[in-house]
């Protein structure tokens, strides 16, 4: 390690001592205990104990100024022990969640919370919602300030997955959608230019609604609906408010800048309802740069959907799946056991249908057991005795069976929604239920094969440790190839989703084309250009997976291979021989 430090500030000496000590930590040492020991041994001159984020911030500043140089192994050790909440970027990218403003929703679901300060289905006590409100729901401030926070606790910020949450995205005006996404990209581009970014306080802005016009909604006796209250409270556009409109031309300029920005968007996720998915909406989502859709499936039982006032049937869900898969989107569903009219046995059959019926077969899934929120209309059915929450034993049984039924090509992203216990009237309050389910599976000697359970995480690997495995399955619209690199223990280091369509396309450039829907290499998210020996992200697995996709596509007689690339991955695919063709990048076969 080389440190140059001519005129240190009073705090700089102990900070340098901390960085030095943590860069030389021996293997096998308990990292949390060691970090605490080092921090307490090197207080500031005033006796204050430095936080991890302060140490990380100082290291970043000294590195950018050229005042400190750690060798590659030293820097790897330092970042491994000081990084906070490392699970956030263990899957290869840094997720940033942003919320849309409160807005009327086309749905009238009885289980949905009616918190009028939030977009439909969200609660003001949820962590992401609190960040959104603090940033006045402005997408720029939400994105920029979240990136600052993540950088300050040691996470890389060069490969970012933007997750847009908030009721039904496609129900918002098109101008708002373009403005929202453009503001996100402006934040990514501006953040990438700043070596030492600081949080921005949006204090000059007002909330998008007038609080004095808000009314609380009682779920057991709804006089005013969420839509009525929000419509009355939303601020009308005026000269002193932010203009919530943009054009695709403006957005495309921001896209172009992001292709080479130090902070790239490598995935853009939106959420909506099945009955909002049309050919026109699918094309618009693609023009915005979206690559994944979170789809509120909730149930595949028409009677249950009707009892819960969902507003669409199972056929509409199937149609949404087909359109999204035709367009190459990754399909991430929300599924809700314990809805009104269901029971554990029906729920297990319902979950089984998700993967046995060729109309569905999602790529990812969030399992959100129905929670009782005071503002939801479900309160009325709870008080009448028509609905009750599952016991812990019933819930454990359903979720254990769900794990057992999930195939290796699907990832259970989340199990149990992060709703504060203070908002739940009755039912499960344990947010670590996934851990409870995993312990139960272990006790009955069942090893789940869903993706998240098999990620390599921090394993050091060589190419000799890996073999390639291909899983074939058919959907209504395609033959699917799930190609993965796995270890002897069946841990997954990287995978590719390849669709081989069996029919005509409503998107012209996808005619007679195979489609790469996702390429993902697991392991710690590393900065672009950064290499750590033995880390899966730098074994060249992505290129090898694409080479295999080319080989399979040729063999099946396709003339082109398309990829639903995100804006920030265009340069990567360009280097591999793909060229921009309309809404996709393509390679001639």
Q: Specify the range with the lowest mean pLDDT, choosing from 84-88, 319-323, 426-430.
A: 84-88
What's the N-to-C CA distance of the chain in angstroms? 49
pLDDT beyond 90 at 529: no
pLDDT reported for residue 242: 65
- What gap in Å lies between CA 166 and CA 178, rounded to an integer? 15
Residue 316 has pLDDT above 80, yes or no: yes
Taking residues 277-306, report their average pLDDT: 98
Using an 8 Å Cβ cutoff, are 481 and 498 in contact?
yes
As a whole number of Å, the CA-based R_g of the chain is 25
Residue 281 to residues 170, 312, 320, 324, 501, Cα–Cα distance (Å)? 7, 17, 11, 10, 20
**Domains of the chain, start order:** 2-82 (no CATH), 97-266 (no CATH), 273-454 (3.20.20.70), 456-588 (3.40.630.30)
pLDDT, residue 528, reads: 42
Q: pLDDT value at position 238?
A: 60
Confidence of residue 18 (pLDDT cuts 50, 70, 90): confident
Distance from C-alpha of 386 to C-alpha of 377, rounded to nearest angstrom: 12
Per-residue pLDDT tens digits for 166-185: 989 999 999 999 999 999 99
Reported as a pLDDT band with limits 50, 70 and 90, residue 31 is low
Mean pLDDT of the 321-343 span: 98
Residue 462 gets the label, from left (phi > 0), alpha (psi -120 to 50) or beta, of beta
- In this structure, of 85-94, 331-340, 403-412, the range with the lowest mean pLDDT score is 85-94
| pLDDT on residue 372 | 96
Residues 6+ apart with CB under 8 A from 82: 22, 35, 52, 55, 56, 154
What's the chain's average pLDDT? Answer: 89
Instruction: With 0.75 as the threshold, say if the pTM is over it.
Output: yes
Contacts of 567-573 with CB under 8 Å at 24 or more apart are 567/185, 567/255, 567/258, 567/259, 567/264, 567/265, 567/268, 567/289, 568/159, 568/160, 568/258, 568/259, 568/261, 568/264, 568/265, 568/266, 569/264, 569/266, 570/259, 571/259, 571/260, 572/542
CB 344 within 8 A of CB 397: yes
pLDDT beyond 90 at 395: yes
Residue 527 confidence (pLDDT): 46
Query: Would strands 94-99 and 68-69 be described as parallel, antiparallel, or unpaired?
Result: unpaired
Say if residue 84's pLDDT is above 70.
no
- pLDDT, residue 526, reads 43
Task: Write down the pLDDT at residue 437.
Answer: 96
Reply yes or no on whether the pLDDT at 257 is more than 90: yes
Is 90 exceeded by the pLDDT of residue 22? Answer: no
Q: Binning pLDDT at 50, 70 and 90, where does residue 24 land?
A: confident
Q: Do 84 and 153 form a contact (C-beta atoms < 8 A)? A: yes
- Beta-carbon neighbour count of residue 235 at 10 Å? 15
Please give the pLDDT value at position 9: 57
Residue 560 has pLDDT above 80, yes or no: yes
Mean pLDDT of 493-515: 94
pLDDT band at 91 (very low <50, low <70, confident <90, very high): low
pLDDT band for position 7 (50/70/90)?
very low
Q: For residue 405, which of 464, 465, 455, 365 has the smallest C-alpha distance?
A: 365
Q: Alpha carbon 527 to chain centroid distance? A: 19
The full length of the chain comes to: 589
- Name 253's Cβ contacts closer than 8 Å, sequence gap at least 6: none
Q: Which residue has the higher pLDDT, 431 or 585?
A: 585
Q: Give dist(CA 402, CA 388) in Å, integer.
A: 21
The Cα angle at residue 418 between residues 414 and 423, in degrees rounded to 5: 150
Q: Is the pLDDT of residue 440 over 50?
A: yes
Instruction: Say whether pLDDT at 30 is over 80.
Output: no
Tell me the mean pLDDT in the region 246-272: 97
User: Residue 287 burial by CB count (10 A; 0-12/13-18/19+): exposed, middle or buried?
Assistant: middle
Residue 583: predicted pLDDT: 96
Give the pLDDT mean for 432-436: 92
174-193 helix and 279-288 helix, angle to the nearest 10 degrees:
20
Q: Answer positive or negative: Cα dihedral of 278, 284, 289, 294.
A: negative
Question: Looking at 195-209, 247-261, 302-316, 436-450, which range is the least confident one?
Answer: 195-209
High-pLDDT (> 90) share of the chain, % = 70
Query: Which tens digit of pLDDT belongs to each residue from 125-181?
Result: 888 899 999 999 999 999 999 999 998 877 889 999 999 999 899 999 999 999 999
């Amino acid at each position: 390690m080389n440190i140059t430090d001519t005129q240190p500030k009073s705090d700089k000496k102990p900070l340098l001592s901390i960085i030095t000590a943590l860069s030389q930590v021996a293997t096998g040492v308990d990292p949390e205990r060691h970090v605490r020991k080092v921090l307490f041994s090197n207080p500031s001159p005033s006796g204050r104990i430095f936080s991890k984020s302060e140490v990380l911030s100082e290291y970043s500043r000294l590195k950018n100024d050229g005042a400190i140089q750690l060798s590659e192994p030293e820097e790897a050790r330092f970042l491994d022990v000081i990084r906070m909440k490392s699970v956030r970027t263990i899957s290869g990218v840094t997720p940033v969640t942003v919320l849309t403003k409160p807005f009327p929703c086309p749905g009238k679901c009885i289980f949905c919370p009616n918190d009028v300060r939030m977009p439909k289905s969200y609660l003001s006590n949820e962590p992401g919602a609190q960040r959104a409100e603090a940033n006045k729901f402005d997408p720029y401030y939400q994105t920029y300030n979240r990136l600052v926070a993540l950088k300050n606790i040691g996470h890389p910020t060069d490969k970012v997955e933007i997750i847009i949450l908030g009721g039904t995205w496609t129900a918002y005006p098109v101008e708002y959608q373009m403005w929202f996404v453009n503001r996100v990209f402006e934040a990514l581009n501006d953040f990438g230019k700043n070596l030492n970014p600081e949080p921005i306080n949006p204090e000059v802005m007002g909330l998008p609604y007038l609080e004095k016009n808000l009314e609380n909604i009682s779920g057991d006796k709804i006089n005013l609906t969420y839509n009525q209250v929000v419509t009355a409270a939303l601020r009308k556009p005026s000269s002193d408010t932010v203009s919530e409109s943009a054009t695709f031309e403006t957005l495309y300029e921001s896209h172009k800048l992001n292709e080479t920005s130090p902070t790239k968007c490598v995935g853009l996720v939106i959420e909506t309802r099945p009955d909002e998915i049309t050919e026109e909406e699918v094309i618009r989502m693609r023009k915005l740069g979206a690559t994944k859709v979170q789809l509120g499936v909730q149930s595949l039982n028409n009677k249950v959907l009707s009892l819960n006032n969902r507003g669409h049937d199972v056929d509409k869900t199937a149609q949404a799946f087909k359109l999204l898969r035709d367009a190459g989107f990754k399909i991430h569903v929300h599924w809700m056991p314990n809805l009104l009219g269901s029971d554990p046995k029906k729920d297990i059959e319902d979950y089984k249908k998700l993967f046995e019926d060729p109309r569905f077969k999602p790529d990812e899934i969030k399992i959100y057991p129905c929670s009782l929120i005071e503002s939801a209309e479900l309160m009325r059915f709870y008080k009448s005795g028509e609905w009750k929450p599952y016991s812990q034993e019933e819930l454990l049984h359903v979720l254990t069976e769900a794990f057992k039924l999930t195939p290796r090509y699907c990832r259970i992203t989340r199990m149990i929604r992060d709703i504060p216990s203070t908002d739940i009237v009755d039912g499960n309050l344990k947010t670590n239920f996934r851990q409870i389910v995993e312990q139960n599976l272990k006790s009955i000697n069942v090893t789940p094969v869903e993706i998240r359970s098999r990620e390599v995480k921090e394993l050091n690997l060589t190419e000799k440790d890996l073999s390639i495995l291909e899983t074939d399955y058919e959907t209504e619209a395609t033959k699917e190839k799930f190609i993965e690199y796995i270890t002897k223990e069946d841990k997954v280091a990287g995978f590719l989703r390849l669709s081989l369509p069996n029919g005509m396309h409503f998107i012209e450039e996808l005619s007679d084309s195979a489609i790469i829907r996702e390429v993902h290499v697991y392991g710690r998210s590393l900065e672009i250009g950064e290499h750590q020996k033995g880390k899966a992200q730098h074994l060249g697995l992505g290129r090898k997976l694409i080479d295999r996709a080319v080989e399979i596509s040729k063999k099946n007689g396709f003339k082109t291979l398309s990829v639903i690339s995100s804006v920030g991955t265009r340069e990567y695919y360009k280097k591999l021989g793909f060229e921009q063709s309309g809404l996709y990048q393509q390679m001639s076969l």
